[in-house]
Amino acid sequence: MSCKGCSQSVFVSNEYIQKQVEEQLELETNIVDDKVYEKRLTQCKECPSLLYDTTCAHCGCFVLFRAKLAYKTCPYPAGAKW
């Protein structure tokens, strides 16, 4: 299955995602601590809008990245879950 916006596969490995997240987080200074991060990820994992165990259906972000950013909130349309 490929992305509607490009020809890349929507299925990516955990290793690829982790590498991308680590590279992007090197540029970020406003991040949450590990306790908040894990709580956010737990909520994402329970959400019916999580696609492929990696991606939020509402914003298209890798949840491993978005959940780490202090200035981001959950984009769930009926109300943010975190």
pLDDT digits (tens, 9 = 90+) for 12-71: 788 888 898 889 889 999 999 999 999 999 999 999 999 999 999 999 899 999 999 999
Query: Does some domain include residue 17?
Result: no
Q: Give pLDDT, residue 25.
A: 87
Distance, in Å, from the CA atom of 11 to the CA atom of 32, rounded to the nearest integer, reads 27
44: containing domain: 38-75
Query: Does some domain include residue 58?
Result: yes
- Is a pLDDT exceeding 70 seen at residue 2? no
Query: Does some domain include residue 27?
Result: no
Distance linking the first and last C-alpha atoms of the chain: 29
Q: How many CA atoms lie within 13 A of 22 on its CB side?
A: 6
Structure-token match 């020809």, residue found: 7
Structure tokens at 48: 């019916």
Q: Give pLDDT, residue 72.
A: 96
Query: Does some domain include residue 50?
Result: yes
Query: Does some domain include residue 29?
Result: no
Which has the higher per-residue pLDDT, 5 or 21? 21
pTM: 0.82
Report the domain count for the chain. 1
